[in-house]
Structure 1
Amino acid sequence: MLTLQKDAARLQQQLQAATEASQTAASHVAEQLKQLDVDRQRLEEELSAFTPLVSPHVL
């Protein structure tokens, strides 16, 4: 019985560690998505500013 209790405690710790790692990874992904959106918006602004400088037949 003691072995089962030790195994259960170890598995519970592993589950907790995995849950925390998953939450950390999800947070990092969310932050990266925000940064990608900021980068996309900046790219669109830069392209909008650049477009009038290019002759229409090049586009």
Structure 2
Amino acid sequence: MEWGKIETQADIDKLMQLINNFHDSCISGLTYSSGTYVDEEYSMIMNTEPVVNLLIQR
């Protein structure tokens, strides 16, 4: 299976159809990356686009 971004309601509807509305499916993994880091001058750099990865198996 390929990775896919969920950005619109149509993307959500497609995902729900693909996994049969979670029937016989489970969330087997979840990761979050804020993207925030500390630079060489010890300043915190905030990322405006954090990333969440959700792994669903069926």
Q: Is TM-score (shorter-chain normalized) higher than 0.5?
A: no
**Bigger CA radius of gyration:** 1
Where relative contact order (Cα < 8 A, 6+ residues apart) is larger, the structure is: 2
User: Which structure is higher in strand share?
Assistant: 2
Structure 1 length-normalised TM: 0.23
Structure 2 length-normalised TM: 0.23
